Structure 1
Amino acid sequence: MIKGDKINLIPATLDDRRKIYEWCFQSETTKCHSGPPDYPNNPIPTYEEFCSSDDGGYTEYYFTGVKPKDGRGFLIVNGKEAVGFISYYSFHLKSGISELDMWIKDEANCGKGFGTDALVSLGNYLNEEMGIRELIIAPSERNTRAVRAYGKAGFVKTDKAMSEFLADEYISVFGEGDYGTGDTAILVKRFNA
């Protein structure tokens, strides 16, 4: 468990994977990042696609902890209630970099600082325990609420292209970001050496 000021991060298990998918792609917050009408070029995946390894999906190791250098997922827990999900993944990046992804399960838990605390807490853990020196997060430019929240956690927009963070073998797969080069906002947080 990783302790924050407002939340705790509890390692997610395979039993959590279905509800985590539903929080992201079947909830009232889905409209902020995926699917028509606002994101027709970022379609909502099926559960099977979400779990697939073909395009960097949430395969089993995010929920078992067997590949901690590649990635891991955590429930964001406020008291006894899970309010969202956060993950890191590094399998596709240059050494010393990790990418974060996060979503809150419903509007009732947005705007309360849970996400900001989760980002700070996981970032500090990755820096202190795994030697990560740089974090990236890459929402849509149009998801202004997420961009503002990430700024509160110390992330700053960069003009660097996603490809500058990627290991060479993943540039063709992930080089344009999830929303394409014109719509992916890349935010960076660096730690002192």
Structure 2
Amino acid sequence: MSNLLFDLLLTGLLDTLVMVGVSAGLAFCFGLPLALILVCTERNGIYPSYYINRCIGTIVNITRAIPFLILMVALIPITRWIVGTSYGLWAAVVPLTLAATPFFARIAEVSLREVDFGLIEAAQAMGCSRKQIVWHVLLPEALSGIVSGFTVTLVTMINSSAVAGAIGAGGLGDVAYRYGYQRFDIQIMLAVIVLLVILVVSIQYIGDQISQQLDKRKV
């Protein structure tokens, strides 16, 4: 029984790491540009555009307002079209990415807004182009907050992956539901909870350490 439990937990953990890792990478690649667009196109931004800002902001808000479970079910046709199936590990990547992208975009947007506007004005006075301001002022100054926000996003995605696993996506959520809940095996349930706690605490600790190292406000 111990060997079986170990194999189940190891497989579930690896599936969760793959599921969250791929989804988080995609969410970062899509979410950060969205955050930059939202900040740069606002009224006082370096690329002011009311309509682009309002359109993207509305889409982000609508997507964030949909509960993950409902979003996952609603995306079944799209998920099946993209990955060829609506069941399993890779099928969960699509809704996880779509749910995490606007969430991370809003957190990254807050970090970008906190950049001292005086630095942007100074860069403009020195003749920096708008692209240079983005790459050499906005992103470096907001990097610590962006890392913190991405850490929070990762933790949220782990919680969502457990929900996805309970309805057929695999991972630790699937192990907890099929072998713990349905078979009333408290040992498996507790083991999954412990693994999830360790995973979340580890990610939070690593993210905090990286963020502190990148924080330019520290003397």
Normalization by structure 1: what TM-score? 0.28
Q: Which has the larger radius of gyration?
A: 2
Q: Whose RCO is larger (CA < 8 A, sep 6+)? A: 2
Q: Which has the higher helix share?
A: 2
Normalization by structure 2: what TM-score? 0.26
